[in-house]
Structure 1
């Protein structure tokens, strides 16, 4: 399997459909999950969004393989990090970051996530928080909240939404962490970020935090 074969099948999908659905690209990527990583990188380094979505999906399918070796995990991790400038859309980040980045770093030093959280590039910062979804699934939520603290005042809309969404998900595992975070930061959080964060709380608690600083409504 190689990138050329993927592109030809993608072209066929485009001839048969006025608009290729994301699920079709995900399914096509799954068919090509055994493609060498270097071939997936060729797809990623492309201005064609569907090819890039296919590339990160291939990396994701590789990372989800229960038989993957540590060497292979490292290879796809490096492919993502070293080519991050091509992963410049929230949909691309969310498709691969949890398993490709989070899955690799789960049992390792997580300093790379904190470096990403301080990047000048919004999608690298989004990768930092989104990657922790893998940890959350393992009931490991501390890094989610630590990275959220770094990003709590981020000016990018897509980073803000990720922060709110991910601390909400982490809060499902342990609400005490979420409540402590909100007690400290609700009054300064972006309104949309805050709404995402409190979405699953009971109505009384939700209203408490939404009213913490009504001036946030215009932010």
Structure 2
């Protein structure tokens, strides 16, 4: 018997207890610098949180939703991590992912308060379910006044750069074009990240995109879009 293997957490309450037990005052002070002033938090390093979330990969969706409804940053972040872990498992069986996971993510989008909640889950939980189209869901998110929904719109297509068709990739470029001049850093930075990865598989498309839109992109987004060119 492998005594080093973590005992699986089977309820949201068990996950929350592990998160609270692992919290420290020092980690809470560091976390406070990037959370809203009134956002409840335990105080964990992200690596510790991710490890605890992996023990909960077998949670039922109602239990995941209990995490996503929790007031603490770590409770909700753990919920999105669990969705990502479950999406990874689903993708081993079906390249189009699991739409039930996507619906949970979207139903709890208001629980997303930080950019890393989006980045952790959106590519596999949302993007993988949209391979082959239609991509209307991403267009709807891109029109949202909420910058974190717009971030989901352009972060989910990162999966297209890994496993998508030419049409999927074209949809990703179209979303980047829609959002290329977005003034919100939580949106224009992931536009640049998408472009950098898309440019690895479609360099000519990236060149045409930058010729058309590069001058209007925020400088930080443009740096992101070209960073993989500089390191190639």
TM range (shorter): 0.7 to 0.9
Give 4+ residue runs of structure 1 displaced > 6 Å after superposition: none
- For residues 185 and 82 of structure 1, do their structure 2 counterparts lie closer, same or farther at Cα, with a shift above 3 Å needed? same
Q: Distance between the aligned counterparts of 2:127 and 2:211, measured in 1?
A: 27
Residue matched to 1:35: 59
2:221 to 182, 186, 193: 193
How many correspondences in the alignment?
202
Aligned position for 1:62: 86
Match of 1:114 among 130, 133, 139: 139
Which residue does the alignment assign to 1:135?
160
Q: Is the 8 A contact 2:131 2:164 kept in 1?
A: no
* Distance of aligned partners of 1:202 and 1:93 in 2 relative to their CA distance in 1, 3 Å threshold: closer
Aligned to 1:95: 120
- 1:140-219 aligned within 5 A: 140=165, 141-201=169-229
Q: CA RMSD in A?
A: 2.1
Higher mean C-alpha deviation, range 155-164 or range 105-114? 105-114
Contact 2:142–2:154 under 8 Å retained in 1: yes
Are 1:164 and 1:196, in contact at CA under 8 Å, matched by a contact in 2?
Answer: yes
Cα deviation for residue 200 of structure 1 reads 2.7
Structure 1, unmatched stretches of 5+, are 204-219
Query: Is residue 36 of structure 2 the alignment partner of residue 8 of structure 1?
Result: no
Cα offsets for 1:28-66 (capped at 9, x unmatched) = 111111101111111111221111110000000000004
CA distance in 1, matches of 2:230, 2:66: 47
Partners of 1:11 and 1:18 in 2: CA distance: 14
Distance in 1 (CA, whole Å) between partners of 2:208 and 2:152 is 24
Aligned to 2:151: 126
Q: CA deviation at 1:107?
A: 3.7
Q: Is the 8 A contact 2:132 2:164 kept in 1?
A: no
Tell me how far 1:202 sits from its aligned partner.
5.1
Q: For structure 1, which segment, 151-160 or 90-99, has the greater mean C-alpha deviation from structure 2 after superposition?
A: 151-160
The answer (yes or no) to whether the contact 1:62–1:68 under 8 Å persists in 2 is no
SS at match of 1:47: coil
- Per-residue CA deviations over 1:78-109 (Å, capped at 9, x if unaligned) read 11011101112110000000000011112442
Unmatched runs of 5 consecutive residues or more in structure 2: 1-9, 28-43
Preserved contact between residue 130 and residue 162 of structure 1 (Cα < 8 Å): yes
- Supply the distance in 1 between the matched residues of 2:149 and 2:159 (Cα, whole angstroms): 17
